[in-house]
Chain A
Amino acid sequence: MSVVVEHVACPFCGCLCDDLSVEAEGERVVKVRRACSNGQGVFREYDPSPRRPTLEGREVEWDEAVRAAAEILDAADSPLIYGLSSSAVEAQRKAVELADRIGAVIDSTSSVCHGPTGLAMQAVGEATCTLGEVRDRADLLLFWGCNPEASHLRHFRRYSAAAEGAQTPNGRKDRTVVAVDVRPTDTTAKADIFLQVDAGADFEVLTTLRLLVAGRTPAADAVGGVAFSDLTALVERMTSCRYGVAFMGMGLTMTPARQMNVAELFTLVAELNAHTRFSVLPMRGHGNVTGADQVLTWLSGYPFAVSFARGYPQFSPGEFTAVDMLARRAADAAVIIASDPGAHLPARAARYLERIPTILLDHGSSVTAEMARIVFPTAAYGVDAAGTAYRMDGVPIPLTECISTGRPTDEDVLTQLLEAVT
């Protein structure tokens, strides 16, 4: 017999679309309505059958795996806790508590996604808004170094370019969409205006826009591959729109200048508020990577790259971030939660996870699982566990238990580890 659950939030990406209808038969999801291909993948490809933890590749009882994991953590001088972005707030809190207890470094996948955005926010602040405001009010949208048509597949329809809102009843017709990127993408193809910048020239282009907004005229025909006339036309649009919103992505954070690029965009947006209403939102990737930033900031004062080794939180990107900790061999044990650094970090950093005892809590198969000494197969928040996640605009959204499997959650395992470590 099938059961249909309505108003379900998809836990895959930072959009957290919460209008899904999920139909389940026993422990399998058989149909998902309104989800994008990623949402379909999250629910339809989910395999809850692994139930027992593994220790060096062999299945063991749950208690034995918890004891072995606690022994690893008790023996470690410099453990690293990493991941968190596809887990729930409830588990993230426990992960910070564990880091505090064992004197670990704790970092989230933010450090290889919007970590530089966090650094920029600390430096210049953020003029933010909710996606509801974008849908209802924004008549100018700027997508800079991001490609939601490949990464956030319902963003346009549900929240931004094509969304129909209170002051934008005609959806796409009521908005001007500008895309800035180093190459044509699915997103730039749907924009009204595409500014193709030279690779690595974002900072210069953003600085020029700031000068133009300030009423100065740089002596240049083109900046970063963009004609000066195109930049002045964009500034005219930005200063005269009713409500502008900039969305930004890895095109600014993963390139040279990283947080400086982002700070320049955030400053531009702040300065545009002297002319009209303008906001900026980072396109957050994983479903609850925003929650990881939020929880770490509530509990330690810092959004990522936090060490509890001295008994109090210290923040040091470039030192307490996962790539640096692993590449410099500064960690002697790792707890990986709901992420796959084995696949997503540069190989030299990823491979080090095989050299140290790695404990993994995750709901699916992964490259990291093949590297880990201990693997706890946990429930997937939003599929077979309830919890809370933060949308990319900082709005908390409840995640639903759509199927009942009895798999323990990340929170359960972290609680057991907290009880088992000495």
Chain B
Amino acid sequence: MSERFTLVTGRTREQAVGMHKGKGSNEYREATSIIEVNPDDLARLGVDDGALVRVRTTEGQVDLTARSADVPPHLVFVPMGTTINSLMGVDTQSTGMPSLKGIEVELSSPGSEKVEQ
């Protein structure tokens, strides 16, 4: 199953530490490849805390490590970085600013998709 969520990206301390080590570092990759999800939402998706969850927008899809977190239902948070930027659109609504928060995304369990296929 897949479900629609609202994605917010932003800064974290871990992302910044990784950035100082270099964007090719393990610290950066790990810090920017997680997604914070409400525990009830994770359970409904059938994704365990720490397992991979598939995130999809019209730009593409990536698999991120799910982290059960204190976020509102149907809202997910991903630290800013190269991983999530691959899903960001380029429409700036005539401002220069792309939508980097409040984006509609689709989440699913990679395992469930394989079964469906």
A183 engages B72 (CB within 8 Å): yes
In whole angstroms, what is the CA distance A88 to B47 when docked? Answer: 47
* Inter-chain contacts of B75 with A (CB < 8 A): 182-183, 199
Question: Which of the residues B13, B88, B102 comes within 8 Å of A347, measured between beta carbons?
Answer: B88
Interface bits A305-346 vs B (CB < 8 Å: 1, else 0) = 100000000000111011110010000000000001001111
* Inter-chain contacts of B10 with A (CB < 8 A): 147, 150, 250
Size category of the binding interface on chain B: 35 or more
B102 engages A255 (CB within 8 Å): yes
* Inter-chain contacts of B81 with A (CB < 8 A): 343
* Inter-chain contacts of A199 with B (CB < 8 A): 6, 8, 72, 75, 101-102
Interface bits A380-408 vs B (CB < 8 Å: 1, else 0) = 00000000000000000000000000000
Which residues 25-77 of B have a CB within 8 angstroms of A? Answer: 59-60, 70-72, 75, 77
B22 engages A365 (CB within 8 Å): yes
* Inter-chain contacts of A259 with B (CB < 8 A): 95
> Smallest CB-CB separation from A369: which chain B residue?
B23
> Smallest CB-CB separation from A151: which chain B residue?
B11
Interface bits B82-113 vs A (CB < 8 Å: 1, else 0) = 10011111101111111111100000000000
- A421 at the B interface (CB under 8 A): no
* Inter-chain contacts of A350 with B (CB < 8 A): 85
Please give the distance in Å from A185's CB to the nearest CB on chain B.
Answer: 8
B13 engages A150 (CB within 8 Å): yes
Please give the distance in Å from A53's CB to the nearest CB on chain B.
Answer: 20
B98 engages A256 (CB within 8 Å): no
Please give the distance in Å from B34's CB to the nearest CB on chain A.
Answer: 14
- B4 at the A interface (CB under 8 A): no
In whole angstroms, what is the CA distance A346 to B60 when docked? Answer: 12
In whole angstroms, what is the CA distance A182 to B103 when docked? Answer: 13
* Inter-chain contacts of A119 with B (CB < 8 A): 95
B94 engages A318 (CB within 8 Å): yes
- A348 at the B interface (CB under 8 A): yes
In whole angstroms, what is the CA distance A186 to B36 when docked? Answer: 14
Asked whether A317 and B95 contact (CB < 8 A) given A344-B85, A365-B22, the answer is yes
Interface-lining segment among A37-45, A121-129, A136-144: A37-45
In whole angstroms, what is the CA distance A42 to B9 when docked? Answer: 23
A256 engages B85 (CB within 8 Å): no
In whole angstroms, what is the CA distance A40 to B9 when docked? Answer: 24
> Smallest CB-CB separation from A38: which chain B residue?
B16
In whole angstroms, what is the CA distance A258 to B97 when docked? Answer: 8
- B17 at the A interface (CB under 8 A): yes
The 4 tightest CB contacts between A and B, nearest first, are A321-B96, A41-B20, A318-B94, A111-B96
User: Taking beta carbons and an 8 Å cutoff, which residues of A are in contact with B?
Assistant: 37-38, 40-42, 45, 107, 111-112, 115-116, 119, 147, 150-151, 153, 182-184, 186, 196, 199-200, 250-251, 253-256, 258-259, 304-305, 317-319, 321-324, 327, 340, 343-350, 364-367
